[in-house]
């Protein structure tokens, strides 16, 4: 996703549960549910403290582009907020999910096993 230049967060409104709606200066709007992020397996305890709704609702917008909780204890890149997808990095590119990473890892392991088998039969490996 390409993020237009000179766009800022116009408003961020708490909607309920772990959802926040964003409006941007170019008229674009998104809504993000942070629950899956906050409850992800192995989540950093620094982030899980915001499962407390009172703490979650206490966010601010810094420099018109950063969504921040506490003293920068939790924040998200502008590109993710604009895309409405927490899987987007600060450059607007979709990050690999754990499922895709795990699939690639298992494919690599299978490939290693095939290479080892070839080596044991006398084949060369490049």
Over residues 51-64, the pLDDT tens digits come to 999 999 999 998 88
Give the burial class of 92: count Cβ atoms within 10 A of its Cβ; 0-12 exposed, 13-18 middle, 19 or more buried: middle
Question: What pLDDT is attached to residue 120?
Answer: 46
CB 31 within 8 A of CB 18: no
Predicted confidence band of residue 5 (pLDDT cuts 50, 70, 90)? confident
Total-model pTM: 0.70
| pLDDT tens column, 78-97 | 999 999 999 887 777 887 55
């Amino acid at each position: 996703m390409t993020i237009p230049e000179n766009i800022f967060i116009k408003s961020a409104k708490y909607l309920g549960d772990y959802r926040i709606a964003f409006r941007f200066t170019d008229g674009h709007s998104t809504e993000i549910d942070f629950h899956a992020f906050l409850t992800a397996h192995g989540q950093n305890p620094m982030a899980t403290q915001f499962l407390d709704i009172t703490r979650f609702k206490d966010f601010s917008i810094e420099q018109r582009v950063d969504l921040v909780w506490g003293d920068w204890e939790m924040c998200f890149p502008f590109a993710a907020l604009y895309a409405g997808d927490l899987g987007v990095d600060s450059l607007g590119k979709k990050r690999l999910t754990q499922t895709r990473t795990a699939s690639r890892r298992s494919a690599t392991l299978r490939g290693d096993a095939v290479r080892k088998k070839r080596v044991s039969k006398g084949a060369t490996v490049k």
